[in-house]
Structure 1
Amino acid sequence: MHIYIHIPFCSSKCPYCAFGSSTDSFNLVERYFEALLFEIKNSTLNKISTIFIGGGTPSVISAKFYEKIFDEFRDFLDIKTEITTEANPNSATLKWLKDMKNLGVNRVSFGTQSFNDEKLKFLGRNHSSIHTKKAVLNAKKVGFKNINVDIIYDTKFDDKKMIEFELLNLAKLDLTHISAYSLTLEENTPFYNKSSFKKDSVNLAKFLFLGLENLGFKQYEISNFGQICKHNLAYWQGKNYLGFGAYAVGFKDDKRFYSPKDIKSYIKNPTFKNIENLTKSDLKFEKIFLGMRSKIGVEAKILNELELKRAKILVEEKKLSYKNERFYNQDYLLSDEIVLFLVEI
């Protein structure tokens, strides 16, 4: 079993962020966690393989609020369970990290985004590069062995010199994982349609990816490098997962479950879910899309005759490889184009 928990509270809203969060609802924290606990208690749990606490900003909430949540999970955890929490470098204090570690969290993911303070200001981040270095040091101090740092590239500030600067700072932190996200100009965000904010440079992405590989972080998905995150891997493998909290999404077999996209609505009815029924065609497309942007690959047997013929053409062109009856993408930056070429719509 895989579990995602959404914490929709932030101290500030980044102008590029389209995730469900609020900066002015901290008066609802206690009631929100009561609703979260109610939802979990009314769910059927079994052995848990991974838990991912995301947001929002989980680190702006005192660890004491998570205690009852972990009490509910305790009987379903074992030494192999991967438990990740996201955190911001400025709010993940030594005490918070220690308390979360004591609850059972064994992987932490810091929303660093950059080590350049001017770029951080542009991205609306309320921390500095010094905060990140201190947060990583504190995480190690309390015993975290599995540490991820997120960075954002392809902004107007990015060129090879900036990427080299980011890589130099990443190399100094002795991390196990790095997530590198290209800046996206999402709808309903202040950055939307601001094309001058983004570089759109494939060469820059390749330069970054090669730099990360040279640091020993092997790419296993278009945005992820290093020691594989088991939770994210489960998504790409199409495994079932439960989503708890406002804005959370769950998946089981051929259905996707959506929690209310509003904190107050969620508190009022924490077990309510909008259900999306997925067709066989939907599920097949998702398998191909996720497989081609990750090391999972795509089973040959799910492709029809025409798609199989197209896949073999891509093997001949060395854009795909074929092994053990699966096709694997050789360049994740081409994943969208490959899927559009492959899939008969």
Structure 2
Amino acid sequence: MHLYIHIPFCESKCYYCSFTSLKKKNYEDSYFNALKKDLDFQLNFFNIKKKSIKTVFIGGGTPSIIQAKYYEEIFKILEPFLAKNSENTCEANPNSTSLEWLKEMKNFGLNRISFGAQSFHPEKLKFLGRIHSQDMIFKVLENANKANFKNINLDLIYDTKMDNKKMLEFELFNLKKIKPLITHLSAYNLSIEPKTIFAKKESFKKNAPYLMNFFIKNIKKLGFFQYEISNFAKNKTYICKHNLAYWQGKAYIGCGLSAIGFLKNQRFYTIKNLKDYIANPTFRDIEKLNPQDLNLEYLFLGLRSCVGLNEKKLDNTTKEKAFFLTKKRKLIYKNGIFYNTNYLLSDEIALYLS
């Protein structure tokens, strides 16, 4: 089993962000009390056995703006259920993560940290609505290493209207400088989402495949290998096990405001309003997925990652199409699995196969 915990609080709203995030307004105590009730209930509801949770991911929002003491009780609840060598990740921002916070979190059981840098360039940071500087990125990575984190991710965003070859070369130059300090990189091409400050501003996204290919190619040249459309690791040891579980269709629990869980053919949605969640944290809205939904999701997730498509899970028509694409060198067939050769074409191929 896998577990996602959502911390909805942020210092400010990034212009591209579609995740649930709110100002703290002194809700920490009531939110974490509700979160503990939610966790206890879900661990019982899913009948979670001791030592069976393989990954934990604390996302946001900005988990690093919450004092470490609030997480101590969360890890105490989880401790009996965490598998040996479980991957325990928390997101953090460069401007709100102190060395002391990192040390405390590591002491509680955190062993992977993910920093939302998004860019090294001051103008691009401003464009995206980020409130940290390049120096803060370098400093927080140094502090994570001082706190003895061995697994460190950095997030970047590209394909914005500000991105051209010169801008991406600037990002790559700085990425090369901090490469010894990280083990993993997530490089997301900008998506324009509803209910964000960037909503309906389609011109803010560049939509330049040649620049996407240029950026990915040069990230690989730096020594990272791509194992999903947006994710790169220094070696297989540092593949994000939590995200891999999503792409493999594994079951996971979602706790916290606006969190989502998944089991077999059902999705479980928590409440999206903060006060309502605090009042009733164990409520779930349940969505039942039909076989067509599950199959389409299987195609999309498998083709955009190293998971691939198992021929045993494909009907005859889909399998014939997949073999046709191997002849066109769009897919590779190996040991009963079809693998995508270009993740940027994953959605297009998935729609063709469906």
Indicate the TM-score class for this superposition, using the shorter chain for normalisation.
over 0.9
Give the percent of matched residue pairs that are identical in Structure 1 and Structure 2.
Answer: 55
* 3-state secondary structure, aligned to 1:90: helix
Report the alpha carbon displacement of residue 313 of structure 1 after superposing the two structures with TM: 1.1
Please give the per-residue CA displacement for 1:116-159, whole angstroms capped at 9, x wherever unaligned.
Answer: 01100010001011111000000000100100000000111111
Deviation string 1:240-259 (CA, Å, 9 cap, x unpaired) is 00001011000001100000
Secondary structure at 2:85's aligned position in 1?
Answer: coil
Shift of 1:196: 2.2
**Pairs within 5 Å for 1:20-31:** 20-23=20-23, 25-31=24-30
- Which one of the candidate residues 134, 137, 143 is aligned to 1:138? 143
In the other structure, the counterpart of 2:186 is 179
**Quick one: distance in 2 between partners of 1:40 and 1:78?**
17
The answer to whether 1:89 aligns with 2:94 is: yes
Give matches, 1:1-345, under 5 Å: 1-23=1-23, 25-43=24-42, 44=44, 45-46=48-49, 47-173=52-178, 174=180, 175-226=182-233, 227-343=238-354
Whole-angstrom CA distance in 2 between matches of 1:256 and 1:195: 30
Alignment deviations for residues 76-131 of structure 1 (CA, whole Å, 9 cap, x no partner): 22441000000000001111111111111000000000000110001000101111
Cα distance in 2 for partners of 1:195, 1:266 equals: 33
Letter in 2 for 1:274: D
Distance 2:192 2:100 in 1: 35
How many residues are paired up?
A: 342
Letter of the 1:33 partner, please give it. Answer: F
Q: Which runs of 4+ in 1 moved over 3 A?
A: none
Inter-partner Cα distance in structure 1 for 2:252 and 2:232:
23
Give the CA deviation at 1:192: 1.2
Secondary structure of the residue that 1:49 maps to in structure 2?
A: strand
Which consecutive residues of structure 1, in runs of 5 or more, have no partner in the other structure? none
The TM-score normalised by the length of structure 1 is 0.97
CA distance in 1, matches of 2:74, 2:202: 42
The alpha carbon displacement at 1:168 in A equals 1.4
Contact 1:148 1:177 in 2 (8 A): yes
Instruction: Give the secondary-structure state (helix, strand or coil) at the position aligned to 2:262.
Output: strand
In structure 1, C-alpha distance between the alignment counterparts of 2:53 and 2:322, rounded to whole Å = 36
Q: What CA deviation, in whole Å up to 9, does each residue of 1:30-84 have, x standing for no partner?
A: 1000000011112223321000000000000000001111001111224410000
Partners of 1:281 and 1:313 lie apart in 2 by 22
User: 1:156·1:197 contact (CA, 8 Å) conserved in 2?
Assistant: yes
Report the alpha carbon displacement of residue 284 of structure 1 after superposing the two structures with TM.
Answer: 1.4
Taking structure 2 as the reference length, the TM-score comes to 0.95
Q: Quick one: distance in 1 between partners of 2:28 and 2:62? A: 12
Q: Secondary structure at the match of 1:265?
A: helix
What is the CA–CA distance in structure 1 between the aligned matches of 2:317 and 2:58, rounded to whole Å? 41
Q: Distance in 1 between matches of 2:41 and 2:351?
A: 41
Listed as ranges, the gaps of 5+ residues in structure 2 are none
